[in-house]
Structure 1
């Protein structure tokens, strides 16, 4: 396991899981949110973003968390392991609201500088609708991956913790 992509709804725990995998394996973490957003929540232009992602996935080892559908194809193709956090939407909404309270007026550690935590109704609706609008497409993409790509679907925090416990401890 050298190139790990973590995908899932907002609030599913992608960044937290990336950090925990890195702690156990020594793999470097790439938080896509921190690379995509610029201060003041300014998006990176699509053509520039794709080039940046292609450079990131060219590295020999990483744990990369984030969705960004426009580059999901190249990230999945470069991954030897894909973890899909398929947690219940009520858990995800609770987590994004809790995160907003915890980091109110501040930038969280896995986000770009100058992007203070915020929760908009649009984002809450996106997270709530994820199982209906995004999940089917994600499952189709995962099913199309070659058998050499390990796909791990985790549906609860208990499953996440149990899977993490199976990882080799220490740095490689």
Structure 2
């Protein structure tokens, strides 16, 4: 599938630390779309990942999806129905739990700056995040795959880190 087949409002779903934000930024640059990182809408800037209220998040989310040209990364099921209704394409990153954990440790230990990070936020190893990736994410992967299969949108499933890298190459995306 060509990148243009996904249209001008693309959702990227997948487990934590699968590369959603990096892919969203690369697509945004290539297609001249606004990159919207749901983590930045859900969490307050200049905090250690403190969540906004549900109403604040939904207001920010719904304002973002009202735009005509965007690529949005993140899951946050509370906004999925209206997000999918506006979307013209979907990408599912379906990498393994092991790969997500490795990427999490690399990100928190080695990367000073990363795409999709909170303004002024601090990335550090957190036990609740390890638990989320190791225990919650496997259940969510099944749910995301079921949603992916049900949605009648142009869509791409990338089921490994290698598949994501090949996608960058095929779509001529720059990291």
TM-score (norm 1): 0.86
Gaps of 5+ in 1: none
Q: Which of 82, 86, 98 in structure 2 is aligned with 1:74?
A: 82
RMSD: 2.1
Give 4+ residue runs of structure 1 displaced > 3 Å after superposition. 106-109, 164-169
The number of residue pairs the alignment matches comes to: 166
Q: Provide the secondary structure at the position in 1 that maps to 2:95.
A: coil
> 1:93 maps to what in 2?
101
Which of these residues, 123, 131, 154, is aligned with residue 117 of structure 1?
A: 123
Per-residue CA deviation, residues 108-135 of structure 1 (Å, 9 max, x unaligned), is 4522223211221111121123453111
1:151 to 1:50, Cα distance in 2 relative to 1, 3 A: same
Report whether the alignment pairs 1:154 with 2:158: yes
The normalised TM-score by structure 2 is: 0.85
Distance in structure 2 (CA, Å) of the matches to 1:67 and 1:53: 11
**CA 1:153–1:109: 2 relative to 1, 3 Å:** closer
